[in-house]
Amino acid sequence: MTGTDSTKPQPKSGWLNLLVDYGPVAIFFLVYRHFSPPSGQHDSVGEVMAVVKSTGAFMVAAVIALAVSWWRLGKISPMLGLSTLLIVGFGGLTVLLRDPVFIQIKPTAIYLLFAALLLIGAYRGKALLKYLLEAAFEGLNEIGWLKLSRNWGYFFLFLAALNEVLRHLYNAENGGFGTWISLKLWVFMPLSFLFTFTQLPMLLRHGLMQEAEGEVLSDPPHE
């Protein structure tokens, strides 16, 4: 990938992008599983404390991921920065108030924020995804960027609605908080990669170089 005026050349570190993007969620899941009450045991206090401890670990892991992105990749994309800010904000409310609902609302809030930014930008003819990701997919023209921004805007709306359904079905009150975290890893992440893959034909029609396909797939937008 070649640099542009607004984007410095970046190392080809797809695995590191994945670690930065999804490592904190994996930590969140593992810490919760470690501290959660035994299966079948109704312990509302223990459930809340497991959520609080895992949320604290999630916040620390997110800040570390931010630092690693700056150290190894030489950048912190606006999307990663906004996501980390909301993790710390909503996570802090969860820890201070001992209320798991805040950390479950966080994905909905950031999905809606990104959807609003991308769709308003597309309506005004500006492909804001390019700047949120700080990416420059080789060969992709402005029409391709605009369509990609619009499509991700609509997809983020879908993810926000899906998270709201799942957090009502699976939460600390009914003992399903662990299921909700699992779905973050095993449903939301594959859906994001699948959606990114479906965009490749459109991107190729708008100038994306075949050599850049791996770059597109290695770092899809995320919350």
Q: Does residue 4 have a pLDDT over 70?
A: no
Residues above pLDDT 70, as percent of the chain: 92
Q: What is the pLDDT of residue 50?
A: 94
Evaluate whether 172 touches 98 at the Cβ level (below 8 Å). Answer: no
Average pLDDT, the chain: 88
Cα 130 from chain centroid? 16
Query: How far is residue 202 from each of residues 25, 105, 151, 207, measured CA to CA in Å?
Result: 30, 32, 11, 9
Please tell me the least confidently modeled range out of 35-39, 101-105, 125-129, 151-155.
35-39
**pLDDT tens, residue by residue, 151-172:** 999 999 999 999 999 999 999 8
What does pTM read for this prediction? 0.87
- Binned at pLDDT 50, 70 and 90, residue 210 comes out as confident
Please tell me the least confidently modeled range out of 5-19, 68-82, 137-151.
5-19
Q: What is the pLDDT of residue 198?
A: 96
Evaluate whether 118 touches 160 at the Cβ level (below 8 Å). Answer: no
- The rounded radius of gyration (Å) of the Cα atoms in the chain is 18
d(CA 103, CA 146): 31
**Mean per-residue pLDDT for 131-136?**
83
Q: What is the pLDDT of residue 40?
A: 63
Q: What is the pLDDT of residue 63?
A: 96
59, amino acid identity = M
**Mean per-residue pLDDT for 199-216?**
88
Q: What is the pLDDT of residue 6?
A: 41
117, amino acid identity = L
Q: What is the pLDDT of residue 11?
A: 44
b/e per residue 18-29 (b: at least 16 CB within 10 A): bbbbbbbbbbbb
**Mean per-residue pLDDT for 47-64?**
95
Residues above pLDDT 90, as percent of the chain: 65
Q: What is the pLDDT of residue 14?
A: 64
**Mean per-residue pLDDT for 6-30?**
72
- Binned at pLDDT 50, 70 and 90, residue 26 comes out as very high
